[in-house]
Structure 1
Amino acid sequence: MPRTFDIIAPPEIAARIVNQICAIEQVMTVHVSPGAGVKPPGDVVTVQTTNRGIPKIMAVLTGEGLTEGAISVSTSEPISVIHQPMEGSIFKDTSEASWEEMDRMLAKESNMTFYSLTLMAIAGFLAVMGLMLNTLHIVIASQLIAPGFEPIVRISMSLVGGEPTWRTAIWHTIGGYLALMTGAAATMLISGALGLWINTGTSTYLEGDSLMTYWTTFSPQGLVITAVATVAGAVLVITNRSVLTAGVMVALTLIPIASLMPMTLILTRYDLFWRVFGRFGVEILLILGISAGVFVIKRYKTGVAAAR
């Protein structure tokens, strides 16, 4: 979909930017407000472009000192754009996010604030209750509300992009899953104190400990599902549809197996603990490796588009 760029730059840089951007075929409109920038001071250049023009515009801005702080840029997505000369291009436009938009989007959705940590802890509570009662829909609810996918893929994206934010992403990932395990452990301890463990394995529609058995068992099929779901999640980030990554979390096993680690320790089932610990580690490595591969392809395509 079309994007709007608001650029503030010193007059001499703004003039060069305008000359280069006007030559880009995918650019629809360019508006210059000389001296309108107050903080930082400078000319304001507003550009509307189709999605396919974003890599070329970013290449121009980078060449004029974007990474050195000489230029301030913000992007937005208009609700609608009517530009008759390029109506066909607008109709056929893609929905890919730029690399910078992906970075900011993942930062927003992966930073473990107080509320994000609260969601992870609640997800741990729900996962444990679902596993104790052998009730699938409660486990699915824990997977849907937990913001546990974005911090991990932010690590791989930062590494692919050569950005130092991968360290921050690691700490947010660790913090998030520690909050989840804390919620799971607290639920187990409180349930034990209240004598609720006697209900473990009972359910209205599943027999035995089928959920516990499934998530404590390695299988080639499970690894394939993780790999395919990771590709889907990375593509959703690239296509600016990160809201749908909740569905990816249902396909992944991160939340239930992370919740199983404190569960198995409290139940002194150390054999199961090492099994779920190993599966959790394999899942994390698969997500990091496969999402990195998808982001490498995105990076390559962006470079090719900017060079055209």
Structure 2
Amino acid sequence: MHRSFQIQLSTDKTAAVLAHLLDIDEVIGVAFYPGSSHKPPGDALSVQLLNTGSDKVLRTLAECCGDSPYMVSTALTESIIEPNQAEKLENDADEAIWEEIESGMRHQGRVTPNFMLLMGLGGIMATIGLVSESTRQIMPFVAAAIIAPGFEPIAGMALAVVLRRWLVLGRALKSTLVGYSILIAASALTFLLLQFLGEADTSQFAASEEIHHLSHPSPADTLLSICGTLAGAIILSSFRKSVIAGALIAMVIINAAAMIGIGLACGRYDLAAEGLQRFGFDIVLILLSCGLVFWGKQQFFHHRRPVA
């Protein structure tokens, strides 16, 4: 896919921006609509371009407009048909811009009623998986990993550090603390309810094969988690959100958080501590993996910080 920018800017900045846009090789087409922007007042530009030119266009706008008000909306374009530039279009890159990555993480991880409900439901499902027989664990584990939006807030912390976006760091840290606190509490309450209904007991939980894997991960388990966290970071930064479920399933951070809640609820503080250890280990994996991927994207592709 390629990209479309809709730009609204002050009339006195249009000539300079247009001149720079026409010099950018990755810009395929530009349309100019004088006086058509009412908020902010001024002109409007429609720009069709390659993904590889997105950062150049945004740098141009920041440099030419300075403190003058302007607005940019971005969209993916299914296809651009330009016979004279077919080779460029065919070799375009599959990269998201920092603003879109931040926007996506903010949408997925912002502390809202929807976010809190999904984290709580993920904790309930993970708890059901942990106290179920091994043959019945797969479905609740997979569902919990996909439903609970627990990856984006932690990935957002790594992105904020790489780009030195301290406001983003604070927001991501808040989402992580609130989201996982809700998940752990939901797990504890779910276990107590299942115990009351006779569907679960402490010995069954302690003897679970999954608890053993969480407490004592094998090298293969660790490698799977590393692959999942690396894949998640690459997916977030390369417009492959439709396959994010695979990366989330490979990670066990939701299950580890649920293990903390169950251990606290049934008085097995040793198991809660082991769950906390695995939970912390997975957080470190996500931070390191995402930090490595985002740092590489910045060094070798974007070469800029977000405009706003």
TM-score (ref. length: structure 2): 0.91
> Which residue pairs with 2:194 in the alignment?
191
Aligned equivalent of 1:156, options 136, 140, 158: 158
The answer to whether residue 182 in structure 2 is matched with residue 179 in structure 1 is yes
Whole-Å separation in 1 of the counterparts to 2:293 and 2:197: 47
- Deviation, structure 1 residue 81: 1.8
**Can you list the C-alpha shifts for 1:217-268, whole angstroms capped at 9, x where unaligned?**
2444333322222111111011111232222121111011100101111222
Residue of structure 1 in register with 2:61 after alignment: 61
Is 1:170 the counterpart of 2:173? The answer is yes
CA distance in 2, matches of 1:13, 1:155: 35
Alignment match, 2:143: 141
Q: Measure the CA separation in 2 of the matches of 1:14 and 1:190.
A: 64
Q: Deviations over 1:152-206 (max 9, x none)?
A: 101111121121211011101111111211221111111222232259749xxxx
Letter in 2 for 1:5: F
Alignment of 1:125-140 (within 5 A): 125-134=124-133, 135-137=136-138, 138-140=140-142
Write out per-residue CA displacement over residues 68-127 of structure 1, whole angstroms, 9 at most, x where no aligned residue: 462211111123321111122112222211111111121112223211211111111111
Aligned residue for 2:44?
44
Code of the aligned partner of 1:122: L
Shift of 1:59: 1.5
- Within-5 A mapping of 1:189-228: 189-198=192-201, 201=204, 209-228=208-227
Task: Give 2:111's aligned residue.
Answer: 112
| Structure 2 Cα separation of the partners of residues 250 and 298 of structure 1 | 24
Q: Is the 8 A contact 1:132 1:200 kept in 2?
A: no
Shift of 1:34: 0.9
- Following superposition, the deviation at residue 303 of structure 1 comes to 4.3
The unaligned stretches of length 5 or more in structure 1 are 203-207
The one-letter amino acid paired with 1:23 is D
Find the counterpart in structure 2 of residue 235 from structure 1: 234
Report the equivalent of 2:98.
99
**1:197 match: secondary structure:** coil
Letter in 2 for 1:22: L
Q: Which residue of 1 aligns with 2:276?
A: 277
Gaps of 5+ in 2: none
In the alignment, residue 155 of structure 2 is paired with which amino acid?
V
**What's the C-alpha RMSD, in Å, of the aligned pairs?**
2.0
Aligned AA (1:279): R
Distance 1:281 1:22, change over 3 A: same
Inter-partner Cα distance in structure 2 for 1:305 and 1:126: 41
Q: In structure 1, give the amino acid aligned to 2:283.
A: I
| CA distance in 1: counterparts of 2:271 and 2:60, whole angstroms | 55
Distance in 1 (CA, whole Å) between partners of 2:294 and 2:196 is 47
Aligned residue number for residue 20 of structure 1 = 20
State percent identity of aligned pairs: 29
Per-residue CA deviations over 1:19-65 (Å, capped at 9, x if unaligned) read 00100111111111111110110110111101111121111112124
Q: Find the aligned partners of 2:120 and 2:161 in 1 and give their Cα distance.
A: 28
Cα distance in 1 for residues equivalent to 2:203 and 2:91: 54
Give the length in aligned residue pairs: 300
TM-score, normalising length: structure 1: 0.91
Residues 5/261 of structure 1: CA separation in 2 closer, same or farther (3 Å cut): same
Specify the alignment match of 2:298 in structure 1: 299
Maintained 8 Å contact 1:9/1:41: yes
Cα deviation for residue 281 of structure 1 reads 0.9
CA contact under 8 A between 1:9 and 1:43: conserved in structure 2? yes
**Residues 142, 266 of structure 1: alpha-carbon distance in 2 compared, 3 angstrom cutoff:** same
Q: Which amino acid aligns with 2:69?
A: A
8 Å CA contact retained: 2:21, 2:57: yes
* Greater alpha carbon shift after TM alignment, 129-138 vs 27-36: 129-138
Say if 2:55 and 2:302, in contact at 8 Å, map to a contact too: yes
DSSP-derived class of the 1:165 partner: helix
